Amino acid sequence: MKQNQNIGIFSIPVLVAALGYFVDIYDLLLFAFIRISSLKSFGLTQDQSATIGLHIISYQMAGLLIGGIIWGVIGDKKGRMSVLFGSIIIYSIANIANGFVHDVTQYSICRFIAGIGLAGELGAGVTLVCELISKEKRGYATSFIAGVGLTGAILAYFISKGFDWRVCYYIGGGLGILLLLLRVSVYESGMFTMEKKEKIRHGDFLMFFNNYDRFKRYSLGIMIGLPTWYIMGILVQLSDKFGKQFGIKDDISPGKVMVYMYIAISIADFLSGILSQVLKSRKKALYIYYAIMILGVVLYFTQYNGTSTGMIVICMIIGFGTGFWALFVTMAAEQFGTNMRATATTTTPNMVRGSLVLVAFLFEYLQQHASFIVSGAITGIIVITLGCIALYKTKETYGKDLNFIET
């Protein structure tokens, strides 16, 4: 079994991780594109599909949260490859089954199971790559993973336009099976296999909470990513309603806004790791991205009497600013020792995704006391401020040697 760290940026392990994230994003956003058509086939009206759709996506997010913990623990106890195989098998079965559902309950169950399966993809892939590749190439490799992975959103959009919603899920399941076959040629992290021989605790999720320094590292890592799903779940998903409130007369399609936004995110994510390598700092790169994101959010809330094209352009600016997902997950991997790295890297992004439930609750609560626009702005100020504080307090991880353990 290989135990060195000499793999290239475009090697099979990096490609497999990138394609795993590609499938992750395809599935995560597919429902947003086919929500109305799929629920309409059950006899629901468009108004009903909004409420029921939120219910179904909540099940998927719950699956991501639970799956993140499960796969993270398995990754540190049994190995990174066990997660990459197990997660894609569950995802593929759930997606194929999703094509056969006939009511909302069945739909919700399949989305929940698919969420559990998907939860392990990005974290396990990034953990494996970070441990197999040299620290001088680490940022470039994770940028490639994110840049390729995020184009899954673009595929999901065009597939949803050309095929029946059931076929879209069959295609997702088929992509998972193809990825499973490709993973046969990938080997386990040598760093993990060497460290596993030591008699220490592996994948103990409670270790994040029994030590102040570890808890601080973990919670700050999650807060850095919070603004991304405030933007996805509130500003983009509800862009049509915000548009009406801003006095935009053109019709706005959240799906169309999202696909253009993901084009910007994909480009930005590809550049984020490269920028951190050039600056020799993860934090400096994140400061730049946060500044672009904040500029975009300010423009978003000042687009009164604008146009649908203007909404798309502004959301692309915001999207570019939030294109630090690769960097954010890489930092999570670099923050923790080998015996907890998979748990940290897998749970952190899924905790951020799951935070949308709390962000949405805050947004809805504020609407009882303020207008729709003001509630959205206050929610953004709170979430982005938390992210800024977390970024400031987080330690630099560029060039960090990952061959260490948590005790």
Instruction: Go through the domains of the chain in sequence order and give each one's CATH number.
Output: 12-188+205-393 (1.20.1250.20)
Model pTM score: 0.83
DSSP string covering 61-115 = HHHHHHHHHHHHHHHHHT-HHHHHHHHHHHHHHHHHHHTT--SHHHHHHHHHHHH
Q: Which residues of the chain have pLDDT under 50?
A: 1-4
Q: Please tell me the distance from the alpha carbon of residue 292 to that of residue 286, in angstroms, as a whole number.
A: 10
pLDDT at 4: 44
Query: C-alpha distances in angstroms, 1 versus 62, 210, 403?
Result: 36, 34, 18
- The pLDDT score that the predictor gives to residue 139 is 82
Identify the pLDDT of residue 1. Answer: 38
Q: Given this model, what pLDDT does residue 150 score?
A: 79
Instruction: Please report the pLDDT score of residue 133 as a whole number.
Output: 84
Q: Give the E-state strand segments of 214-335 in sequence order.
A: none
